Amino acid sequence: MAKKDHIYYVCSECGYRTEGWLGRCPQCSSWNTLEEHVRKTSAQKRKETSKAKLVPLLEGEDEEEEERFSTGIGELDLVLGGGNVTGSVTLVGGDPGIGKSTLLLQMLDSYKTPQKKLYISGEESLHQIRNRARRLGVRGENLFYLNVTNLEQIEQFLNEHQPGVVVIDSIQTILSEMIDGLPGNISQLRYTTAKLVRISKELNSALFIIGHVNKEGGLAGPKVLEHLVDTVLYFEGDNKADFRILRSIKNRYGPVNEIALFRMESRGLIPVANPSELFLNLDVEDRMGTAVVAIMEGNRPVLIEVQALVSKTQFGMPQRTASGIDHRRMNLLLAVLEKKCGKPFSFYDVFIKTAGGIRLTDPAADLGICMALVSSLEENPLPRDAVFVGEVGLNAEIRPVNQIVERIREADKLGFKRVVIPDSRQNVRLNAKCKIEKRRKLPDLL
């Protein structure tokens, strides 16, 4: 007598699993979210399992390097690690309206491949996509459109035409008949993404998947998609501003935390070749509380301005507001300045922000933040031709940072005359026109 399939239930909101159906999920308290699943029997698993063999790790010949195709957009090639790898799967996430569909439509038009280029959309009609393509100046050579949300139909089209590159817009609209539930729930996302990844690898086609973000800012589906794909790219920036930052969070074929900058214009997203010039405004005469710092975004040095405003508090508790800088990091630096340098910030409101809204996570910006704070407190403007690089420790020591040569070279290229760096055993050898000043302690510099 054949064994019956074992049935279990999984919550579509949080992934909670139970053996029996419940009206309300015990973990996330959502109603009617438990969906039925069937566990395969041991005989079925043994039948589907293929034989594997042990292979010596370091013996045998090395395989050839991955074949890469240029996307036709230099900044996007940089983030991907020098072009897109054949058969790779890239997930592009970001807030609604930030430019995901626009960038990938431009990318499809300029992608260097002799095969067909396919744009699959479950959100926009042919009329909408065609109007956008004409506005962006898309030529449309070998570029095709498909309005299908059924996974099985998509698989049939891909096997029949075998395109070189495919864009799915978006994965939350794709539905498989093999899985119960509405499009966008965890079961559908996991199954459809895994299936598309397998098809992409079998056909050796490059696949770009657009994913929506949830209220917390992560890709919808509790990080399920990020583990299935090869590369994860996030769009950052305010959709009301005119520039966008594309950052690599995961990349199996290149460096992570690499960024690309784009400016949003009427004809689409335009790459910004020199990011430092976008975040600098050296023509302003009033430089009170403004310092220039050199940070590393991936392997790229970027110079940005940090602005601080310190004013006498009118309340019992001074205000602390930070934009682009972690609030706890600002409080730590304020404590160091007050305890070790004797600056009375306890009686002042402190407001600090970064130019352009870019987030500062590099510890090398600590020295510039401290200089901007003290400059505003003492109403003493900093030199406009100076760049500050260094991490500030709890004892007010200026600690060394990595890739110091690249930071100095970027400052020298942009015409800065003075670069303040930590005094350490690092041997800085480069032919630079700017003056390099080394400091050990923050009070010495102040």
The DSSP string of 235-250 is: EES-TTSSEEEEEEEE
**Across-strand partners of 234?**
93, 247
Q: What is the DSSP string of 164-206?
A: SEEEEE-GGG-B-TTS-S-TTSHHHHHHHHHHHHHHHHHHT-E
What was the pLDDT predicted at 396?
Answer: 93
3-state helix, strand, coil in the chain (%, to 5): 30, 30, 40
> Could you give the CA distance from residue 178 to residue 194 in angstroms, rounded to a whole number?
13
The tens digit of pLDDT for each residue in 404-446 reads 988 998 898 888 999 999 987 766 667 778 888 999 999 888 7
Q: Which residues of 80-110 are buried (b: 16+ CB within 10 A; e: fewer)?
A: bbebbbbbbbbbbbbbeebbbbbbbbbbbbe
The one-character DSSP state at 281 is -
What was the pLDDT predicted at 1?
Answer: 39
Q: What is residue 161's three-state secondary structure?
A: helix
Instruction: Assess contact for 304 and 358: CB atoms under 8 A.
Output: yes
Fold of 278-445: Ribosomal Protein S5; domain 2 (3.30.230)
Count of C-beta atoms within a 10 Å radius of residue 62: 6
Q: Where are the domains of the chain?
A: 6-41, 68-273, 278-445
Which residue has tokens 């050579």?
141
> Could you give the CA distance from residue 398 to residue 389 in angstroms, rounded to a whole number?
9
Chain-centroid distance of CA 245 in Å reads 8
> Could you give the CA distance from residue 237 to residue 245 in angstroms, rounded to a whole number?
6
The CATH architecture of the domain made up of 68-273 is 3-Layer(aba) Sandwich (3.40)
> Could you give the CA distance from residue 41 to residue 7 in angstroms, rounded to a whole number?
11
What was the pLDDT predicted at 2?
Answer: 45
What was the pLDDT predicted at 163?
Answer: 94
Strands 435-439 and 386-388: unpaired
Residue stretches of the chain with pLDDT short of 50: 1-2, 45, 222
What was the pLDDT predicted at 222?
Answer: 46
